[in-house]
Amino acid sequence: MSDPARLLVVEDEAHLAAGLKLNFELEGYAVDVAATARDAARLLARPNGYATIVLDVMLPDLDGFALCRRLRESGNYTPVVMLTARSAAEDRIRGLEAGADDYLVKPFQLDELLARVRSQIRRSQWERKRSGTAPLGNRLTFGQAHIDFSAHEVSVAGESLHLTRLEFDLLRYFADNAGRVIGRKELLEQVWKLRNYPNTRTVDNFVARLRKHFEIEAARPLHFLSVRGSGYKFVPEGSG
């Protein structure tokens, strides 16, 4: 038997944290609990990696969004499932922009959280396995970029690059719809899974991120083009 997958639960409500720990342990996971962002940072600095982090948004010292952002900026891409008391789409978007992989609103069903965590672990195990033996096909090359969608591998000018899950999903959607003008609302629905969400600024933020990653000059994009009044168009062969 291999070691059990280790989870980090970051939650300051002691009752809830203890309940989550117990239930995850019953599922066969090893669990560490941090009651503050500071404790979480200390645990995360240890070499033994976590399979997934369950991260509450409301913490006494630093909010979960900021903690998640710091984690990603430091190069740690452990899957993060965020917990929040508010169901506002704004919060969901903030979480995803901070680099979270999934999002659950309190009060949630325990089964639902277990299922989300299982799915994150499965997905990252699958990605790790695939990256060893990348099959042919499902690849995209444009400009200086090489993307292997199966292996979840991205490189630009030979340098490998890590995309957040949402950046990756957006890139894949552009790739699947290359050459077609795609509206912001369509992107919100198809990539963010948000319906009737009025604010499309988050789409622009993420296209800006892709440009920063892939365009030689982000201000003069050749591949991720703005189409005035309509949305965006991805042109693998480059424009102009």
Closest CA to 171 of 199, 193, 144, 191: 191
For residue 113 the two structure tokens come to: 């959280």
Work out how close the CB of 219 gets to Ca ion at its nearest, in angstroms, rounded to a whole number: 41
Q: How many C-beta atoms surround the C-beta of residue 85 within 10 A?
A: 11
Work out how close the CB of 56 gets to Ca ion at its nearest, in angstroms, rounded to a whole number: 4
44 versus 59: smaller Cβ distance to Ca ion = 59
Work out how close the CB of 106 gets to Ca ion at its nearest, in angstroms, rounded to a whole number: 9
What is the rounded end-to-end Cα distance, in angstroms, of the chain?
57
Largest Cα span, the chain:
60
20 versus 207: smaller Cβ distance to Ca ion = 20
Work out how close the CB of 176 gets to Ca ion at its nearest, in angstroms, rounded to a whole number: 38
58 versus 208: smaller Cβ distance to Ca ion = 58
Please report, as ranges, the residues that interact with Ca ion according to CB under 5 A.
12, 56, 58
56 versus 167: smaller Cβ distance to Ca ion = 56
**Shortest Cβ contact with Ca ion: which residue?**
58
Q: How far apart are CA 52 and CA 115, in angstroms?
A: 12
The answer to whether the CB of 96 falls within 8 A of the CB of 24 is no
Q: How far apart are CA 122 and CA 124, in angstroms?
A: 6
Work out how close the CB of 25 gets to Ca ion at its nearest, in angstroms, rounded to a whole number: 21
Phi and psi at residue 123, in whole multiples of 5°? -65, -45
32 versus 56: smaller Cβ distance to Ca ion = 56
Q: Which helix (H) or strand (E) holds 183?
A: strand 181-183
Work out how close the CB of 82 gets to Ca ion at its nearest, in angstroms, rounded to a whole number: 11
12 versus 61: smaller Cβ distance to Ca ion = 12
Q: How far apart are CA 65 and CA 179, in angstroms?
A: 35
Q: Which helix (H) or strand (E) holds 156?
A: strand 153-156
